[in-house]
Amino acid sequence: MNSAQKIKKFIIDTIFPVSCIGCGSDDTWLCHQCFGGIAINKEMSCPECRLASSTTTCNPCKATIKIDGLIISTKYEDKLVQNLIKSFKYNFIPELARPLSKIMIKRLYDFDNNSHFPILYNRSGSIIIPVPLHKKRLLARGFNQSALIAEMLANQTGLEYQPDIITRIRFTQTQTNLSRDERIQNLKDAFVADQSFNWSGKNAILVDDVATTLSTLNECAGVLKKAGCKEVWAMVIARGSQDDLNDITLK
């Protein structure tokens, strides 16, 4: 850090002091103790019908959705998790990508021993892709929240990170007040995959911050599969209901 950057950091830290989102303790966005208190999700279920005996999308649901499985890292009902995600996205604190990606890493390695995630074994064939933002929204927020956590996840797992091989070409209105059918319609042809990328033999892990109806993840998965991707899994911090999402965007 040069002296100008040091001064800038000092001013920012004075106006917006860093403190734990959980307990308010100084100099960290999430202290060790609060991080340790976040319950990591241990269950797997079908992302569509939520059948608990299935660790992937169950056979009947494969007819309706394109995602092969969904890895949910923690519970959306946890108020601290909600506050972290809200602060990350709507109070524009990109530094929260680190603790949020740590929650995902904990989900992958501490509670599963990889047994449910064969996609992680095929290291040369698995790629991590963040759900893309339209460039208009990217300009407004300044960062793609999914890309920040996806990149950290890729660094930690050693899997290939590819943020630019799927693009959002259509600007869509915010999804939070739409029904599931309206969401599907709203997202039609919103994404395009890079045809020059060698998709053969690739499996993708699509990363997003929060999942609700799965319409965005599903639309992306369809585009990736059409491009030639084999399996497409999705990984999120938490899964909320539509009402939860209306709630956090209004605040």
Q: CA dist 93 to 13, 87, 88, 196, Å? A: 13, 6, 5, 34
**Near Zn ion in 58-117, by CB under 5 A:** 58, 61
Contact status, residue 146 vs residue 130, Cβ threshold 8 Å: yes
> Whose CA is closest to 208, among 230, 239, 184?
239
Segment near Zn ion (CB under 5 A), from 12-20, 85-93, 177-185, 194-202?
Answer: 12-20
- Minimum separation from the CB atom of position 198 to Zn ion (A): 32
Q: How far is the CB of 108 from Zn ion (least distance, A)?
A: 22
Residues in the chain: 251
Tell me: does residue 46 bind Zn ion (CB under 5 A). yes
Question: Residue type at 131?
Answer: V
Q: Give the one residue of 40, 49, 184, 248 binding Zn ion; rule: CB under 5 A.
A: 49
Q: Minimum distance between the CB of residue 139 and Zn ion, rounded to whole angstroms? A: 33
Beta carbons within 10 angstroms of residue 129's beta carbon: 26
Sequence letter at residue 189: D
20 binds Zn ion (CB under 5 A): yes
Minimum distance from CB of 25 to Zn ion (Å)? 5
Choices 15-23, 115-123, 141-149, 156-164; region in contact with Zn ion by CB under 5 A: 15-23
Three-state SS annotation for 46-105: CCCCCCCCCCCCCCHHHHCCCCCEEEEEECCCCHHHHHHHHHHHHCCCHHHHHHHHHHHH
What is the nearest approach in angstroms of Zn ion to the Cβ of residue 2? 31
Residue 31 interacts with Zn ion (CB under 5 A)? yes
Residues at the interface with Zn ion (CB under 5 A): 20, 22-23, 31, 34, 46, 48-49, 51, 58, 61
